[in-house]
Structure 1
Amino acid sequence: MWGILGLIGGLAILTILVMRGMNLLIAAPLSALIVGVFNGLPLFSQLAVGKQTDFVTSYMDGFSGFVTSWYLMFLTGAIFGKVMEDSGAAESVSHWIIKKIGMKRAVLAIVLACGVLTYGGVSLFVVAFAVYPMAVNLFKESDFPRRFIPATLALGSTTFTMTSAGSPEIQNWIPIPYLHTSPYAGWGVSLVTALFMLIAGYLWLMHMIKKAKRKGEYFISRENDEVESRKGLPNPFLSIIPLLIVLIVAFVLHDVLEQSALIIALTSGVIATWILNRSYFRDFWKAVGNGTEGALIALGNTSAVVGFGSVAQVTPAFKSAIDYVTSLPGSPLITGAFAVMVIAGLTGSSSGGQSIALPILGPHYLDMGVNADALHRTVSMSSGTLDSLPHGGYAVTTIRSIAGESHKDAYPAFGAMTVIIPLLAVIIAVTLFMIGF
């Protein structure tokens, strides 16, 4: 009883602390300590008896293990995003897409610009920063309420591109070592759900914007909006080549190197960006440095959450909870999706949700004979649902730091695009897999 209360209480406290803005590197170990104390774990290894696992060892094994497995992928991904940003290549691609689609479809242009950059391997956060200034200009010209900008950016970044087959984003690659699959697992179903998220999300978002307009809402300018785009951008066709190189290299090497192929693919993207756009860089090595710092922060936050999960995993309460989830009636795809999305929601991290659940659920479901490709796609998509609750890292950064909006104004549309639409897509995916699509 006390163990279950400790597990639930630790998860609740982690959620509350994150929503209140506490750093995950502090909030996660504090919450994990509560889980450990209520479950009777000794604090240090010196206090453990026999083979008993202690709190510090459990937490640091999870933390360091995630760093060991994913550091180079986080690093190369963050650097690639930053050099694309610093050279103006990301902005050039975005401008070209927006120009071709036109002002009448401003929201669709922003969504597709984010989608192309995200599917090309640019970090979600970098995409939001890069496209936001153009989104402000387009919303101003269209007189759309600016509180819908975060939802527009998120629809193009965290839905049909982040967890789809072939995506270089880490959410699509984490299942590979656990399920022995490829980043193209379940590509047929993924194509259907990606189209659903794009079309349904766009139509719903436009409905909300038009409804707000009918109620008298309009675009309100701010002093810091008068930020002009950089002049002398590189050629958009040359700028998109590094994105294609990332996708091609990952495709060619994924059978041989599995998730390690992403390291070479992203490194190739960095090199290609420098070769093709080197005369446009403001400061190449500063961009590399900024990317490195960003990678360490993102990796540290995710590892902190994984450390929390590692402590939870060694408790009797967690084992009871997993036994309950895995014994639920119905398809293992449903229970697997449920487990991943709940953990991702409580931690505010899609990658954290997968990293905690897959080491336990993966072998169990594979032993049951579950189709690995179907499980890969379902788990990947599920991680991109409840991770975008109000306390999620991307939600907080995009709404507050980038767009300067309040959760009260911006989150209803943001949550609709990043939680409800992906949830419906997961239901569609599971249904299609179950009928043998």
Structure 2
Amino acid sequence: MLGVFGIVLSLALLIYLAYRGITVLVLAPILALMAAFIGGIGGQETHIMATYTEIFMKAFANYAKNYFPVFLLGAIFGKVMDDSGSAKAIAHAIAKKLGADKCVLAVVLSVSILTYGGVSMFVVAFAVFPIAQQLFKEADIPKRLIPGTIALGSFTFTMTGLPGSPQIQNAIPMPFFGTDAYAAPILGLIASVCMFGGGIVWLTLRVRQAKKAGEGYGVHPNEKFTEIDETNLPSLGLALAPIFLVLGINLVLSKMVIVAGKYDGAYLEKAPYLTKLGNVAGTWSLIIALVISILATIIFNYKRLKSAKDTVNQGAIGSLLAIINTSSEVGYGNVIQSLAAFTIVKNALLGVSSNPIISEAISVNVLAGITGSASGGMSIALGILGKQYLEMGIQQGISPEVLHRIASLASGGFDSLPHNGAVITLLTICGLTHKESYKDIGMISVAIPLCSLVVVVVFALMGVV
């Protein structure tokens, strides 16, 4: 039991200290080794340095190997879309079309299109906030509702639900289950409708409550407004073209070229590759789609970019912290997995239900909440239990596509608790606090996605794909 106590203590410290602002890069190895040390006191033979170099760092490196291209290209694509003015052009066009009286819907749609097109959630927040700020001010709607509105378009259905989403949360399950980004499209669409509809209803209710109470935009003494220069923005069609390219090329490659058998991947099963086409097809499709879209965006907007080289460099550098943070969390999870006491935790997670759909939905959500990261929690959960879930699914006639979609959806629930890095960043960009805006963020990105997940689990158990 001492080993279990060490695991629980390390997890509690990870949550608390990460919330207090200490980087996961430092926390993850220290707390993982602390749990291993306590487990050693409890009777398991533990070698601290070997655990660090041969378990933590090996898992860290393996995760970076598998997902660095997606993090890298996603960050570069987002930066190119931002610097070219394409992200602002899309948001501005939608806002102008719908008007200030429909500012909530305008912001949600703007963010959704950008996020679904592959633009990083962080880039989206920076690009859309100035427009949201002006719209909410003009409509005299409380500024405190802006973070929840942006969260609906970026932290929910476009991240985990919509089939084909190039976001990392939809890419992580692919090598585990041999699937692609369009896995279980009907389940994904059901979840997306629930999250989008529920979020819009909630925000509309909150706006009405504020109006009824006579609450307006509010007084924010240190607030600055950024003027949008329309003269140098690309046209809406030109701005949307790279997004259609990402989605279209990914769809064609994953469904009609690679997986359809038009690409002979038999050589992959031989040395030095020793893998299967199904394990890499989804990732390859996404990488190619992003590369082509980045090049197209640069070509379309070459004169608008101050320096294409600087834009690409900044995007590449910006991807490093995200991939290293998540890799550290995965390293942490693998150390915990190696401990004898984790067998008790593992059996508890698997013992929740003999059905892998239910067990996976719970374990991914719990670990995403513990780490405060959708990608980190899902990576840990699938790294530990993914193979067993796949085996259980095959035995019970459950499609790997269903397991992919459930894992992706489950990652977007408890991950958005107050210590989540994206939540903290969003509030910082908006110049607001947890006290002012987290109630709406929590409802939009925790409560409603959890309810949506329950609905999807029910449909999945009924055999819907």
Q: Which residue identity lines up with residue 345 of structure 2 in the other structure?
A: A
For residue 448 of structure 2, the aligned residue among 396, 421, 426 is 421
Q: What is the CA–CA distance in structure 1 between the aligned matches of 2:343 and 2:253, rounded to whole Å? A: 37
Contact 2:2 2:38 (C-alpha < 8 Å) held by counterparts: yes
Q: CA RMSD in A?
A: 1.3
Q: What is the CA–CA distance in structure 2 between the aligned matches of 1:282 and 1:86, rounded to whole Å? A: 8
Structure 2 residue aligned with 1:91 = 88
Contact 2:145 2:437 (C-alpha < 8 Å) held by counterparts: yes
- Structure 1: give runs of 5+ residues left out of the alignment: 46-53
Q: What is the CA–CA distance in structure 2 between the aligned matches of 1:216 and 1:56, rounded to whole Å? A: 59
Deviates more, 1:96-105 or 1:378-387: 96-105
Structure 2 residue aligned with 1:312 = 336
Structure 2 residue aligned with 1:11 = 11
Structure 1 residue aligned with 2:21 = 21
| Count of equivalent residues | 428
For residue 198 of structure 1, the aligned residue among 196, 199, 202 is 196
Structure 1 residue aligned with 2:156 = 159
Contact 2:100 2:136 (C-alpha < 8 Å) held by counterparts: no
Q: Which residue identity lines up with residue 180 of structure 1 in the other structure?
A: G
Structure 1 outlier segments of 4+, above 6 Å: none
Contact 1:341 1:383 (C-alpha < 8 Å) held by counterparts: yes
Q: Which residue identity lines up with residue 18 of structure 1 in the other structure?
A: A
For residue 182 of structure 1, the aligned residue among 176, 180, 183 is 180
Structure 2 residue aligned with 1:290 = 314
Q: What is the CA–CA distance in structure 1 between the aligned matches of 2:367 and 2:414, rounded to whole Å? A: 8
Structure 2 residue aligned with 1:278 = 302
Q: Secondary structure at the match of 2:301?
A: helix
In the TM superposition, what is the alpha-carbon distance from 1:392 to its structure 2 partner? 0.4
Establish whether residue 226 from structure 1 lines up as the match of residue 225 from structure 2: yes
Establish whether residue 394 from structure 1 lines up as the match of residue 393 from structure 2: no
Establish whether residue 434 from structure 1 lines up as the match of residue 461 from structure 2: yes
Q: What is the CA–CA distance in structure 2 between the aligned matches of 1:109 and 1:350, rounded to whole Å? A: 26
Q: 1:24 to 1:360 in 2, by over 3 A?
A: closer
Deviates more, 1:62-71 or 1:112-121: 62-71
Q: Secondary structure at the match of 1:39?
A: helix
Q: What is the CA–CA distance in structure 2 between the aligned matches of 1:415 and 1:297, rounded to whole Å? A: 25
Q: What is the CA–CA distance in structure 1 between the aligned matches of 2:3 and 2:167, rounded to whole Å? A: 36
In the TM superposition, what is the alpha-carbon distance from 1:56 to its structure 2 partner? 3.3
In the TM superposition, what is the alpha-carbon distance from 1:343 to its structure 2 partner? 0.5
Structure 1 residue aligned with 2:236 = 236
Q: Which residue identity lines up with residue 321 of structure 1 in the other structure?
A: V
For residue 139 of structure 1, the aligned residue among 120, 136, 141 is 136
Q: Which residue identity lines up with residue 368 of structure 2 in the other structure?
A: A
Contact 2:329 2:371 (C-alpha < 8 Å) held by counterparts: yes
Q: What is the CA–CA distance in structure 1 between the aligned matches of 2:106 and 2:115, rounded to whole Å? A: 14
Contact 1:148 1:410 (C-alpha < 8 Å) held by counterparts: yes
Structure 2 residue aligned with 1:51 = none
When normalised by structure 2's length, the TM-score is 0.90
Residues 72-124 of structure 1, C-alpha deviations (whole Å, 9 max, x = no match) = 11111000000100010110011111122222211000000000000101001
Structure 2 residue aligned with 1:48 = none
Q: What is the CA–CA distance in structure 1 between the aligned matches of 2:296 and 2:5, rounded to whole Å? A: 52
Q: What is the CA–CA distance in structure 2 between the aligned matches of 1:192 and 1:317, rounded to whole Å? A: 38
- Structure 2: give runs of 5+ residues left out of the alignment: 41-45, 259-280
For residue 102 of structure 2, the aligned residue among 105, 130, 153 is 105
Q: What is the CA–CA distance in structure 1 between the aligned matches of 2:389 and 2:59, rounded to whole Å? A: 22
Q: 1:310 to 1:103 in 2, by over 3 A?
A: same
Contact 2:147 2:437 (C-alpha < 8 Å) held by counterparts: yes
Residues 207-254 of structure 1, C-alpha deviations (whole Å, 9 max, x = no match) = 122213323322134444232113421111111000000111111222
Residues 27-64 of structure 1, C-alpha deviations (whole Å, 9 max, x = no match) = 2122212211111221123xxxxxxxx23321101111
Deviates more, 1:331-340 or 1:253-262: 253-262
Structure 1 residue aligned with 2:114 = 117
Q: What is the CA–CA distance in structure 2 between the aligned matches of 1:150 and 1:418, rounded to whole Å? A: 11
Structure 2 residue aligned with 1:49 = none
Q: Which residue identity lines up with residue 240 of structure 2 in the other structure?
A: I
Q: Secondary structure at the match of 1:225?
A: coil
Deviates more, 1:380-389 or 1:207-216: 207-216
When normalised by structure 1's length, the TM-score is 0.95
Structure 1 residue aligned with 2:267 = none
Structure 2 residue aligned with 1:328 = 352
Contact 1:147 1:410 (C-alpha < 8 Å) held by counterparts: yes
Q: Secondary structure at the match of 2:341?
A: helix
Q: What is the CA–CA distance in structure 2 between the aligned matches of 1:289 and 1:182, rounded to whole Å? A: 29
Contact 1:86 1:283 (C-alpha < 8 Å) held by counterparts: no
Q: Secondary structure at the match of 2:157?
A: coil
Q: What is the CA–CA distance in structure 2 between the aligned matches of 1:26 and 1:365, rounded to whole Å? A: 31
Contact 1:302 1:351 (C-alpha < 8 Å) held by counterparts: yes
Q: What is the CA–CA distance in structure 2 between the aligned matches of 1:268 and 1:156, rounded to whole Å? A: 25
Identity of aligned residues (%): 42
